[in-house]
Each structure stands twice: as structure tokens, then as C-alpha cells.
A = this chain, B = another copy of it.
């Protein structure tokens, strides 16, 4: 059950759409949605601006499709993790790892989401963004609280602050992450988790 109500109709000639969406996502991510002209996307795709409208209703509907496809995939991964019945620490580890995998696969969509979701949320068309945010918060906050309760996480945490801390820490990575770099998503996740869970300072010496 996808977070967005879109029925991703998989018609045979669907390939062109996907190509064009990938192009659009790349440009949106690089220049921002508003600053991106439909002509720029068309140029990048090697067609004329008007021709995009054979495939899409509007510039906005391209954005919509990009974001909802991303969120659908993200939640497929998250839901699997949340259904696995792991402990709080292991859940956090799995969610962070899954997030970096999504960043790896949908870098452009993630960057767009970061930059644009705040003002899109208010538009009825993008109501699913708000729904996703609520679900997201519930998953992370719940896991953190569970961890504090069972002693996995520090009891002196401001859990809401910790939630924002972890959330931002992970997703902002999309702004500098480049797929195919030195580190795999799993490796980056491991290092992030190491910092988030154990801090960057050395532990007081154990005798």
C-alpha cells in the first residue's frame, strides 16, 4: 500500500516517460524546481518544450511523479525494516542503512525532496508528503523512545531533538553524496552510525 495514491501504470511504452522523469529530476535537483524551466528539461532531453506535454500534464505533475515514486520505494524499504521486529538499536541501524541506499538510488529525488517539500506540503496535490512525514516521525521517534525505555539509548536525551538530529544528519547527506564515489552507501551508513551512536569524542579510558 503505497504512501502516494498514484497507480503507477506500467504501460509498455512507459520507458520514455521514465527517461524524461530521470532527466527532469536531475535538473530539478541541480537548479531547484522553481528555477528550472520546462525548456531546460526539454533541451536536456533533446526535444522541444511543448513535446514534454505529450507525456506529462504539467511541470508540477513531473515533480509529483518523481517524489511519489521515490516515497513509494522508500516506504517499501522502511516498512520491511519496521516489520522485522528488531530491537531499537538494530532498527535505527537498519533504517539509516536503508536511507543511505535510497540516497544512492534516488539521489536527485532525495535532493528535490529536501529542498522543496517544505512549501509543497501545503498544496492538496502533495498532501501525501505530509502523510509521509508523519509516518516517518512516528517510526523514528517511536524507535528512539523504545530505545530509551529499554536502556539501549541514553536516558538524558531530548528525544525530539535527537530525532531531528538523526533525521537531518542522514538526509542532508544527499546534498553532497555522489553515487559511484569511494564509499558504498553501506559503508557511509556504518560510519554515520558509529558517530551518531557512539560520538566523535574518545571514550573515557577503561582500566
Residue tally, chain A, CB below 8 Å to B: 44
Q: Is A32 an interface residue (CB 8 A)?
A: yes
Main secondary structure of the interface of A (DSSP, over half): helix
Q: Is A85 an interface residue (CB 8 A)?
A: no
- Assess the A202–B153 pair: CB atoms within 8 A: yes
Chain A residues proximal to chain B, CB less than 8 Å: 31-32, 34-35, 89, 115, 118-119, 144, 151-158, 161-162, 164-166, 168-169, 172-173, 175-176, 188, 191-192, 194-204, 206-207
Complex: A194 Cα to B198 Cα, angstroms: 11
- Assess the B191–A200 pair: CB atoms within 8 A: no
CB-based nearest B residue for A164: B176
- Assess the A31–B119 pair: CB atoms within 8 A: yes
A35 smallest CB distance to B (angstroms): 5
Q: List 13 A-B contacts (CB under 8 A).
A: A32-B119, A152-B202, A154-B201, A155-B202, A156-B194, A157-B195, A158-B191, A161-B188, A161-B191, A162-B200, A165-B192, A204-B206, A206-B207
